[in-house]
Amino acid sequence: MNVFTEITLNHYLALSGLLFMIGLAGVMIRRSILVIYMCLELMLNAANLALVAFNRFHVKPGGIHDYDGQIMVFMIITVAAAEVAVGLALIVSLYRLRQTTNVNDLNALKF
């Protein structure tokens, strides 16, 4: 019962990994490019979760808690927001060009 009553870093890491895998599965399965993008965001957030978890359990020698991980996550959130904006602009352009959002039809990137 230990693993269910005592929460350690491992739990959070497992949670992060699981979330990442779910996002990955979404990327591989879904056909609408917008939904794929959303699952990509899910993967990003999984990484954020891992970072915050590490930050919580990391103690500098001397007993001081630092916030570097949280700063990092803060930046990631910001940059991710910008990235979403740009990505969606691209998707809009793509839609204007191809009139489709089905990933199976967007297959010009081939040899």
Q: Which of residues 25-54 bind another protein (CB under 8 A)?
A: 25-32, 34-39, 41-42, 45, 48-49, 52-53
| Residue 50 burial by Cβ neighbours in a 10 Å radius (0-12, 13-18, 19+) | buried
Residues in the chain: 111
Tell me: does residue 98 bind another protein (CB under 8 A): no
- How far does Cα 97 stand from its chain's mean position? 28
Report in angstroms how near the CB of residue 48 gets to another protein at its nearest: 8
- Smallest separation, CB 110 to another protein (Å): 3
Can residue 68 be called a binding residue for another protein (CB under 8 A)? yes
